[in-house]
Each structure stands twice: as C-alpha cells, then as structure tokens.
Structure 1
Amino acid sequence: MHISAKADYAVRALVELARDTARPLTCESIASSQEIPFRFLKSVVGDLRRAGLVRSQRGCEGGYWLGRPAGDISLLEVALAVDGELMTLRGEVLTGLAYPGPAAGLPDVWREIEANARQVLADTTIASLLLRPVREPVAV
C-alpha cells in the first residue's frame, strides 16, 4: 500500500492544528514546524478546507483551525479528502478487479488488505495521535 505525501502532510498539518486550538495557525508556521514544503502544504490545506476538516480565518490574526473536534476526524476521512481513494491498483479501484485462472483469488487479498487498512484508519483519530506514545523507529 502506498501512503501519499498528500495524506502524510495532511495528517501532520491536522495534528499540528489540534495541538494548539487556542489560536489559528498559518500555513507558514505549520510548514516550518512539520518540515513540509510550503507550496505543497497550501494545496493540501485547500483540499482539507473543501472537505470541511479545516476552516480558515482571514486577516492579520488569521490562519487555519480544525473544522471539527480532533476526536471526530479520522485518518480515513483525511486520506479520502486528499487522495480520493484509499487503495488502487495501477490507478484503478479494487471493486471490480478480477483475474483469470490460478490468480483468481488475488483480488480478494488486495480487497482484504484495503478493508483492514480502512478499519485502522477509521479507528484512528487526530486526537488519538496526540496521545500516542513516541517510539523509536524499528530497522527492518
């Protein structure tokens, strides 16, 4: 499964917004804090705004706020807002995928992987990421 840069940046931006809800944050401050390219982040935040996951405030005290409470925003919603689909195969959705002969069972495996990933993302909220303990990366 491929996790897009857009999905990764979107979640990181939302976690940054959730960390400090007392004031709006600018894209510049989010990009700097999360080490995200500013231009790319502007596009991602636009997708999040259209999906209602963030709201904006203009003016010198302006910036972005969460559109809903962090506990009500799942990672699944975020991924779908910025990518449209969770998992595709060569750009096609998995629903109608079928293979002939001995590979006939493979599409069911791909769909099962997608269903499991969908469940993990649906069960994980922006708020839960703030509470998650930080672990050291594991070398593979």
Structure 2
Amino acid sequence: MHVTARVEYALRALLALAVVEPSALTANALADSHGLPLTFLQSILGDLRRADLVYNQRLPHPGYRLARAAEDLTVGEVLRLVSGTRAEERAEPPEGEPSALVDALRQVWRAADTAQHEVIDAVTLADLRDGRLPARIQALLSP
C-alpha cells in the first residue's frame, strides 16, 4: 500500500485532534507539536474541513476540532477522502498476453485491494488514539 505524505499528515493531524477532544488546536500548534510543515498542513486542514471531518472553531478558543467522534472515523475513510481513490489503477496488459492469465492476475490484485481495505476500514481514530487495534486486526500481526 502506498500512503502519500498528504494522507500521513492528515491522519497525524486528526489523531492529534482526537487526543485533545473536545478541545481545539490551531494549525500552528498542530504543525509545531507534531513536526508538520505549516503550509502543507493548512492545505490538508482545508481539505478535511471541506470533507466535514474537522471544523474551524473561531471563538472563544480558536482552532480545529473533529467534526465527528473519533470512534466514527476510520483510517480507510480518511485515506479515500484525502487521496480521492479506492485502489490504484492497473496497467493494461500487453498485446497478445493470454486473457486467462491476465484475468487471474487481476483477481489477485482485486483480492489484495479488498483485504487491504478490510483492514483500514476496521481501524478507527479512537483505536489508534487509545493504542488498541481490533482483535481481528491484531491477529494479523501475529507470526
């Protein structure tokens, strides 16, 4: 799975907001305390605001807050909203390649994409904030 810096920073910012719930954090405070580039973070926060994942509280304590409970927001949802895709497009097969082999390979890619999304859709911001993964995801980490 390829996770862009944009997705990584979005998740880090959302986790920071989940930790301080129900308080708010300014973009400057998020950037300073979590080592995120401010300009890039401001762009990401704008995307998260437009996606209704955060809102910018003005007064009395300005800053960003989660728009939904951390328990209701999955890693997969954030990944899809920030990156704008579900799965990467696969290249077209070369001319003359046997279609049965191509179809079998495409089935493997689809199964891998499905398994990947089953994992990221099962983990919420609250799970990460609280340092616990769902049992079925934890079981995948055992050798």
Query: Which residue identity is paired with 1:128?
Result: D
Q: What SS class does the counterpart of residue 49 from structure 2 fall into? A: helix
User: 1:106 is matched with which residue?
Assistant: 105
The ranges of structure 1 where at least 4 consecutive aligned residues each deviate by more than 3 angstroms after the TM superposition are: 97-100
User: 1:61 is matched with which residue?
Assistant: 61
Q: Aligned pair 1:42/2:34, yes or no?
A: no
1:4-59, CA deviations, whole angstroms, 9 ceiling, x for partnerless residues? 11111111101000101142101111111221111111111111111111011125
Q: What SS class does the counterpart of residue 65 from structure 1 fall into? A: strand
Distance 2:60 2:16 in 1: 20
Name stretches of at least 5 consecutive residues in structure 1 with no aligned partner: 134-140
More helix by share: 2
CA contact (8 A) 1:98 1:107 kept: no
Distance 2:76 2:93 in 1: 25
**What TM-score, normalized to structure 1?**
0.82
Q: What SS class does the counterpart of residue 28 from structure 1 fall into? A: helix
Q: What SS class does the counterpart of residue 10 from structure 1 fall into? A: helix
Distance 1:31 1:86 in 2: 28
TM superposition shift of 1:110:
1.3
User: 1:72 is matched with which residue?
Assistant: 72
The count of residues paired between Structure 1 and Structure 2 equals 128
Q: Aligned pair 1:126/2:113, yes or no?
A: no
Distance 1:39 1:59 in 2: 23
**What TM-score, normalized to structure 2?**
0.80
Q: Percent identity?
A: 37
Distance 1:35 1:86 in 2: 28
Query: Which residue identity is paired with 1:73?
Result: L
Q: Give RMSD over aligned pairs.
A: 2.0
Structure 1 residues 119 and 98: CA distance shift in structure 2, 3 A: farther
